[in-house]
Amino acid sequence: TQLLEQSPQFLSIQEGENLTVYCNSSSVFSSLQWYRQEPGEGPVLLVTVVTGGEVKKLKRLTFQFGDARKDSSLHITAAQPGDTGLYLCAGSSGAGSYQLTFGKGTKLSVIP
Amino acid sequence: NAGVTQTPKFQVLKTGQSMTLQCAQDMNHNSMYWYRQDPGMGLRLIYYSASEGTTDKGEVPNGYNVSRLNKREFSLRLESAAPSQTSVYFCASRGAWGNSPLHFGNGTRLTVT
């Protein structure tokens, strides 16, 4: 069974601070996705990373896929209250796989 | 642009009662999924359907049954609800491409007393 460990589990920061969320595994994934979930809603895709070492930027969010495709990180620069939510990473074991393995999530609160 | 629609949004059941959670998607996706989300446990896969006419067990299938009614609809049934099934249930669908994202509904919050 593939596992994804996310850290930290909870994060409370002031507006304007930077933060990094980690997603680690001992298994290799063919791709990794990051989702954000707001209260009362389903998760929504932020990004998919596919290539080892890949870096993708989405405004103030920077996503990195580890060289060995076993880990990923999400860095937020100058966090804003609108970034508040649950961040989930999810890994796919292959193009033919129908299942995604989810981490348990990082709950982020950005205080104005 | 509805995406994935789940009904009901909230439900309270007594132990032993049965109910069916409905899910429909309008994106012509082949794969559909049912997850449950519990505090500290993340999203856990209950059942999935890779295509119309097929269903497979996920990580936590006990106490649940599913039906892939057609390409659009995938229902989840609790035959005899238990307090351990108190959770938020999410339906999702996914396109054919291997790295395509999951599209989630807004969930059903179920309480079993």
pLDDT of residue B9: 96
Higher pLDDT, B65 or A3: B65
Residue range A79-98, pLDDT digits in tens: 999 999 999 999 988 756 67
Rg value, chain A, Cα: 13
pLDDT of residue B40: 83
Structure tokens at A37: 């979930």
- d(CA A17, CA B109) in angstroms, rounded, equals 34
Does B102 touch chain A if contact means CB atoms closer than 8 Å?
A: yes
| 8 A C-beta contact, residue B68 and residue B48 | no
pLDDT of residue A96: 63
pLDDT of residue A98: 74
Does B42 touch chain A if contact means CB atoms closer than 8 Å?
A: yes
From residue A30, give the alpha-carbon distance in Å to each of A52, A53, A91, A92: 9, 12, 8, 6
- d(CA A48, CA A65) in angstroms, rounded, equals 9
Q: Is the Cα dihedral B52, B54, B59, B62 positive or negative?
A: positive
Max intra-chain CA distance, chain B: 41
CA A86 to chain centre: 9
B4 and A42: CB-CB below 8 Å? Answer: yes
- For chain B, give the percent of residues with pLDDT over 70: 97
Higher pLDDT, B50 or A97: B50
Q: Collect all residues of chain B within an 8 Å Cβ-Cβ radius of residue A33.
A: 99, 101-102
B106 and A40: CB-CB below 8 Å? Answer: yes
Residue range B56-74, pLDDT digits in tens: 999 999 999 999 999 999 9
CA of B41 vs chain A CAs: smallest distance (Å): 6
